[in-house]
Amino acid sequence: MNQFKEINLKKLLDNARIGVVIHGLDTSVLYANPTALSLLKLTYDQLIGKDAMDPHWHFVDETGSTLPTEFYPVSRVAEMGETLNDIIYGVFTGEEKNISWFAVDAYREGGDEHNGFIIITFSDITERKSEFSFQAVVENAQDIVIVTEADTLDSPIGPKIVYVNKAFENISGYSAEEVMGETPRILQGKFTDEQSLKRVKNALKQQLPVRESILNYAKNGRPYWLDMNIIPLKNKYQQVTHFVAIERDITEQRFHAEQLEKRNQDLREIKENLQKTISTQNAELKNANLKLQRLAYYDFLTNLPNRRSFEDSAGKHLSLARRNKTLLLTGVVDLDDFKLVNDRFGHDTGDRILKMTADAMRQVFRREDAIGRLGGEEFAFVVQLEQQEDAIQICERLLQAIAEARYETADKNIAHTTASIGISVDLPTNDTTFFDLYNQADTALYKAKKTGKNCFILFSTKG
3-class DSSP state for residue 62?
coil
- Position 395 scores a pLDDT of 97
Percent of the chain having pLDDT more than 90?
57
pLDDT in tens, 14-29: 888 999 999 999 999 9
Q: Residue 8 pLDDT more than 90?
A: no
Q: How far are the Cα atoms of 270, 333, 395, 446 from residue 462, in angstroms, in the given order?
A: 71, 22, 21, 15
Among 97-101, 292-296, 412-416, 458-462, the range of highest mean pLDDT = 412-416
Residue 46: other Cβ atoms inside 10 A = 16
pLDDT (average), residues 442-454: 93
pLDDT (average), residues 73-91: 91
DSSP assignment of 172-191: H---HHHHTT--GGGG--TT
User: Which of 100, 109, 80 lies closest to 22, judged by CA?
Assistant: 109
Q: Residue 247 pLDDT more than 50?
A: yes
Alpha-carbon distance of 81 to 120, in angstroms, equals: 14
Q: Residue 131 pLDDT more than 60?
A: no
- Position 293 scores a pLDDT of 66
Phi then psi dihedrals of residue 249, to 5 deg: -70, 115
Alpha-carbon distance of 285 to 294, in angstroms, equals: 14
pLDDT (average), residues 78-94: 86
- Position 12 scores a pLDDT of 84
168 near 197, Cβ under 8 Å? no
Q: H or E stretch including 436?
A: helix 434-451
379 near 359, Cβ under 8 Å? no
Cis status of the peptide bond prior to 156, with omega within 30 of 0: yes
Among 56-60, 288-292, 333-337, 375-379, which stretch is predicted with the lowest mean pLDDT?
A: 288-292
130 near 102, Cβ under 8 Å? no
Phi then psi dihedrals of residue 261, to 5 deg: -60, -40
3-class DSSP state for residue 387?
coil
pLDDT in tens, 141-194: 889 999 999 888 887 777 899 999 999 999 999 999 999 989 999 999 888 889
User: Which of 374, 392, 364, 373 lies closest to 458, judged by CA?
Assistant: 392
Residue 1 banded pLDDT, cuts 50, 70, 90? very low
Q: Residue 382 pLDDT more than 50?
A: yes
Q: Residue 450 pLDDT more than 90?
A: yes
Looking at per-residue confidence, does 330 or 412 come out higher? 330
Cis status of the peptide bond prior to 209, with omega within 30 of 0: no
Per-chain mean pLDDT for the chain: 87
What is the maximum span of the chain, computed from C-alpha positions, in angstroms? 113
Alpha-carbon distance of 360 to 335, in angstroms, equals: 12
Crossing angle for the helix pair 347-364 and 389-404, nearest 10 degrees?
A: 150
pLDDT (average), residues 424-437: 94
69 near 81, Cβ under 8 Å? no
- Position 130 scores a pLDDT of 59
337 near 389, Cβ under 8 Å? no
Alpha-carbon distance of 276 to 164, in angstroms, equals: 49
